[in-house]
Chains A and B, each alone.
Chain A
Amino acid sequence: MTSLQSPLLAGAFALYLFSVVLYLLHVWLRRPLLWRGAFILVLAGFALQTFILGQRWAEAGYLPVTNLFSTQLFFSWALAAIYVYFELRYRIHAAGLFVMVLNLLLLGSALPRDPAIPPLIPSLDTPLFTFHIAFSFTGYAFFTMAFSLGALYLVQRRLASPLLPDLTLLRKVNEESIFLGFCLFTLCLIMGSIWAYIAWGYYFSWNIKGLWSFLVWLFYAGMCHAKFIRRWQGTGYAILSIAGFGVVLFTYLGIGLLLESNHPLN
């Protein structure tokens, strides 16, 4: 079954790629059929990715999120799930283009990597780890969605395009993304801290990854408050969403790839 994973993943990538093409055509030709087709392709890609993830989970006996490939796969899956949620809930249509391009980048950069599932080391063999990672990447995915919506907010503010959701909806969905991301990331930190305590005897590590995870939480906690301050609403909030994604990106990839940490990616 592992040998089938690469073609299936390539299939999911192709579905997302075609959905992006249809979204682009929709931007150009403005035909509702095109965005509907794009969304159907996203649903198909998401279903395929869910199958791959489920199959890998069943094969490994644990949620395989222990190396860069598998975290990228899970991150990409969570991002697609969140986009599907917002599309079904708010009908954000062409706003999906930006999210799906990000998803393509994420999945595309995972494809050349080895999909083999590494053996689980004993300290990771606990449901706390599974919850910690699942909440972490779902939180990251919401922050990525917020980044996309923040960027779109700035675009829409300048272009006032009928293709994009209006500013009020973009702001509302952005706030919801930040809020849900913050909630899930809080759960991630709780699970991670309890796990660290039982595994290493302390719940907060002064490792750079531990510190930046706390910074991600603190940053978005600040954002959850900033939405009540007039100056930070709208454009300010969109800019903060973009800046926050920078913090997330550094915490996820920057530390793992550029610096030494106790959360290695490979």
Chain B
Amino acid sequence: MLTRIWKFLCSLKVAVFLASAATLLLMGGSLVMHYHPRIFGGMDHMLLGDWFAGMGNRNLEIAWWLPTAGVLLALLGVNALCCFIDWLFSLRARWRKTGEYLIHLGFVLVLFAYFWGTLSGFRSEGNRLLVGESLPLRDMPGYTLRLDAFEPLFNEKGRPVDMRSTVTLLREGTTLQRQVVKTNSPLIYRDLVVVPGSFGRVAEGFRFFLSGGGGVSLIPGSRTPVAGGFLRVLNFFPDAEKLPDGKAVFRSESLGNPAIELELDRPGFDSWHGWYYLKEGLPFPLVQAGVRLWPTDPVYRLYSVLTVNRDPGAGIALAGALSMFAGVLFAMASFYYKRSRGERPDVL
């Protein structure tokens, strides 16, 4: 009885049936995917397990093929694994099939790795980091990713061609790895991978023409000598909403109604503190103090957008890929060896 079950599990016909059924199902499913981008469009942006738990589950009537194909492929993986084990037990007689069975093993490993990675780990896109900022990593307490430097690269036509983000991976403040992340050069630490996504810029202040002082940049933290005292920038909102009491509330990062929170200190005078709405003109106390400022253009700061993914199965998948790679080479060599000896395949 056990022998019969084992033979069934190793059956070539079962393998062909499962592969055919999975192929046909996925063919149909791929077309369903294409015509329902709202449902299936987000599959690459999160773990398949997370996607299925949410979007897939809510649309089971058109996503049912996915778990079914998963089951068929899992069964195919079991079949391939049984064939591999069966081959191991008769290795002496069938050693010339090493290549083919390494491909089987590789397939099993890749499949297992994919299922594992689908159910654990995480995918996190659109992580925006300004230079100096740190990102605590999801599901990894104590781990943070810090952006140390960022430099976009442009071609001669001014089109962005690459992004160089110098990032440091830390655990409890201790550096684990530091690397320049750019296209095709990710930071890989165990099952974690950091790749560049895109970049952008935010206005962090404004440049002004200062009467008698030339151009000055007012950004939070800056201190500019004016009218015998100092003008200190406390805050900057690129787009602010003005409250009845004159205070500003942050509205958005797009440049709309910029406002700067200033403090003027002059010896012998009371210090002044208030908001300067650039579209409204200089506040009267500053004019009275003899400050003459004309806004010219915004001061921008670049940020890097990084993708941080964690796939615990990635290492196993690589092992599977290497097994398949070696299998292909062995199989090709043994194919020509067998052909040269005039051997024909076994027929069932």
Question: Which chain A residues have a beta carbon within 8 Å of chain B's beta carbons?
Answer: 121-123, 125-126, 128, 175-176, 179-180, 183, 186-187, 190, 193-195, 197-208, 211-212, 214-215, 218-219, 221-222, 225-230, 232-233, 247, 259-260
Q: Which of A123, A183, A226 contacts B16 (CB 8 A)?
A: A226
Taking CB atoms, residues of chain B closer than 8 Å to A228 are 12, 345-348
Instruction: Verify if B26 is at the interface (C-beta below 8 Å from A).
Output: yes
Q: Find the residue from B22, B184, B195, B324 having the highest chain A CB count within 10 A.
A: B184
Residue ID in chain A nearest B15 by CB atoms:
A225
- Indicate if the CB atoms of A123 and B183 lie closer than 8 Å: yes
- Indicate if the CB atoms of B193 and A180 lie closer than 8 Å: no
Taking CB atoms, residues of chain B closer than 8 Å to A183 are 328, 331-332
Given known contacts A187-B325, A201-B307, A205-B44, is B317 in contact with A215 (CB within 8 Å)?
no
- Indicate if the CB atoms of A198 and B22 lie closer than 8 Å: no
Residue ID in chain A nearest B329 by CB atoms:
A183
Taking CB atoms, residues of chain B closer than 8 Å to A218 are 19, 22-23, 26
Chain B contacts with A in 3-52, Cβ cutoff 8 A = 12-13, 15-16, 19-20, 22-23, 26-27, 29-30, 33-34, 40, 43-44, 48
Taking CB atoms, residues of chain B closer than 8 Å to A186 are 103, 324, 328
Q: When each residue 180-201 of chain B gets 1 if its CB lies under 8 Å from chain A and 0 otherwise, what string results?
A: 0011111010000111000000
Taking CB atoms, residues of chain B closer than 8 Å to A175 are 345
- Indicate if the CB atoms of A197 and B314 lie closer than 8 Å: yes
Determine how close the nearest CB of chain B comes to the CB of A181; give it in whole angstroms.
Answer: 12
Other A-B contacts than A195-B184, A198-B193, A228-B345, 5 sampled, CB-CB below 8 A, are A123-B183, A125-B183, A199-B186, A203-B314, A230-B347
Taking CB atoms, residues of chain B closer than 8 Å to A179 are 331, 335
- Indicate if the CB atoms of A225 and B16 lie closer than 8 Å: yes
Chain B contacts with A in 170-214, Cβ cutoff 8 A = 182-186, 188, 193-195
- 28 sampled A-B residue pairs with Cβ under 8 A: A122-B161, A122-B184, A126-B184, A179-B335, A180-B332, A190-B325, A193-B317, A198-B185, A199-B184, A201-B186, A201-B193, A202-B123, A205-B44, A208-B30, A211-B26, A211-B30, A211-B33, A212-B27, A215-B26, A215-B27, A215-B30, A218-B19, A221-B107, A222-B16, A225-B19, A226-B16, A229-B16, A229-B347
A216–B342 Cα distance when bound, in Å, is 29
Residue ID in chain B nearest A260 by CB atoms:
B34
- Indicate if the CB atoms of A190 and B345 lie closer than 8 Å: no
A180–B334 Cα distance when bound, in Å, is 12
Given known contacts A183-B332, A206-B40, A218-B19, is B30 in contact with A198 (CB within 8 Å)?
no
Instruction: Verify if B311 is at the interface (C-beta below 8 Å from A).
Output: yes
Determine how close the nearest CB of chain B comes to the CB of A132; give it in whole angstroms.
Answer: 12
A233–B321 Cα distance when bound, in Å, is 30
Taking CB atoms, residues of chain B closer than 8 Å to A227 are 345
Taking CB atoms, residues of chain A closer than 8 Å to B188 are 198
Q: When each residue 317-347 of chain B gets 1 if its CB lies under 8 Å from chain A and 0 otherwise, what string results?
A: 1100100110010011001000100000111
Residue ID in chain A nearest B104 by CB atoms:
A221
Taking CB atoms, residues of chain A closer than 8 Å to B314 are 197, 203
Taking CB atoms, residues of chain B closer than 8 Å to A204 are 114
Taking CB atoms, residues of chain B closer than 8 Å to A219 are 19, 23
- Indicate if the CB atoms of A202 and B311 lie closer than 8 Å: yes
- Indicate if the CB atoms of A125 and B184 lie closer than 8 Å: yes
Given known contacts A198-B184, A207-B44, is B23 in contact with A222 (CB within 8 Å)?
yes
- Indicate if the CB atoms of B34 and A190 lie closer than 8 Å: no
Residue ID in chain A nearest B100 by CB atoms:
A224
Instruction: Verify if B309 is at the interface (C-beta below 8 Å from A).
Output: yes
- Indicate if the CB atoms of A206 and B48 lie closer than 8 Å: yes
A221–B123 Cα distance when bound, in Å, is 31
Instruction: Verify if B162 is at the interface (C-beta below 8 Å from A).
Output: yes
A69–B166 Cα distance when bound, in Å, is 38
Residue ID in chain A nearest B309 by CB atoms:
A201
Determine how close the nearest CB of chain A comes to the CB of B184; give it in whole angstroms.
Answer: 5
A260–B328 Cα distance when bound, in Å, is 32
A100–B261 Cα distance when bound, in Å, is 76
Taking CB atoms, residues of chain A closer than 8 Å to B34 are 208, 259-260
A146–B318 Cα distance when bound, in Å, is 30
- Indicate if the CB atoms of B324 and A190 lie closer than 8 Å: yes
A121–B162 Cα distance when bound, in Å, is 9
Residue ID in chain B nearest A125 by CB atoms:
B184
Residue ID in chain A nearest B192 by CB atoms:
A201
A227–B307 Cα distance when bound, in Å, is 44
Q: Find the residue from A125, A212, A214, A225 having the highest chain B CB count within 10 A.
A: A225
- Indicate if the CB atoms of B23 and A212 lie closer than 8 Å: no
A128–B194 Cα distance when bound, in Å, is 19
Taking CB atoms, residues of chain A closer than 8 Å to B193 are 197-198, 201
Determine how close the nearest CB of chain A comes to the CB of B294; give it in whole angstroms.
Answer: 41
A24–B298 Cα distance when bound, in Å, is 73
Taking CB atoms, residues of chain A closer than 8 Å to B186 are 198-199, 201
Taking CB atoms, residues of chain B closer than 8 Å to A211 are 26, 29-30, 33
